[in-house]
Amino acid sequence: MNSIYEYLFGDHESLDKLLREASEGNGGIDMKRYCEFRQGLLRHIGIEEKIVLPAIARLQNGRQVEVAARLRLDHGALVALLVPSPTPGIVETIRSILKAHNPLEEEEGGLYRLIDQLAGDEAESLLDRLESAPEVPALPHNDRSGILEITRRAVERAGYKPLF
Ligand SMILES: [Fe+2]
Ligand SMILES: [Fe+2]
């Protein structure tokens, strides 16, 4: 059986790969790949916010991990970046956030190791819930005027630099 760590770490790797593939061509952004990335990242964030963080708090008798607030801010910025149609600058900004964010979850003492340690005999049923988590319905991109400004603010609020 896979561990929860392995499942979520593998998710990071496939999302990184999709984002790389979406933006490596010379002809701009590959929208098919990008949409797979967008769907996958929304689902991944949903799993962390709705299953992993609540399970950790419950298994620690109501005590949430310190890093939870940081992770939620990052998730907010990432979700905001998925709203407008992608540009190379938006893709770069997403990449820069993931580069700082994913290690907080993957590293020794990070979120994923912690949930594995705490899960105990719940490990299998938790992993089941992760694996069977449904796709999150994604709205079409929204490019109304002012949207980029809103997106920039969400990025800055989380402490990152908007590269668009
Ligand atoms: Fe995350
Ligand atoms: Fe993650």
User: Structural domain tally of the chain?
Assistant: 1
For range 9-32, the mean pLDDT: 94
CA–centroid distance, residue 54 to ligand 1 (Å): 14
CA–centroid distance, residue 105 to ligand 1 (Å): 7
For range 25-51, the mean pLDDT: 95
163 in a domain, yes or no?
no
CA–centroid distance, residue 106 to ligand 1 (Å): 10
For range 100-105, the mean pLDDT: 98
Query: What pLDDT digit, counting tens, does each position of 135-164 carry?
Result: 998 899 999 999 999 999 999 999 999 999
CA–centroid distance, residue 87 to ligand 2 (Å): 23
* pLDDT band at residue 27 using 50, 70 and 90 as cut-offs: confident
Q: Using the CB atoms, write b or e for 76-88: b if 16+ within 10 Å.
A: ebbbbbbbbebee
164 in a domain, yes or no?
no
Whether residue 96 contacts residue 163, with contact meaning beta carbons closer than 8 Å, is answered with yes
For range 27-39, the mean pLDDT: 95
Measured from the alpha carbon of residue 72, the closest ligand is 1
94 in a domain, yes or no?
yes
29 in a domain, yes or no?
yes
Whether residue 4 contacts residue 112, with contact meaning beta carbons closer than 8 Å, is answered with yes
Can you give the residue range of the structural domain that contains 69? 4-157
Query: What pLDDT digit, counting tens, does each position of 57-99 carry?
Result: 999 999 999 999 999 999 999 999 999 999 999 999 999 999 9
Residue-level pLDDT at 137: 86
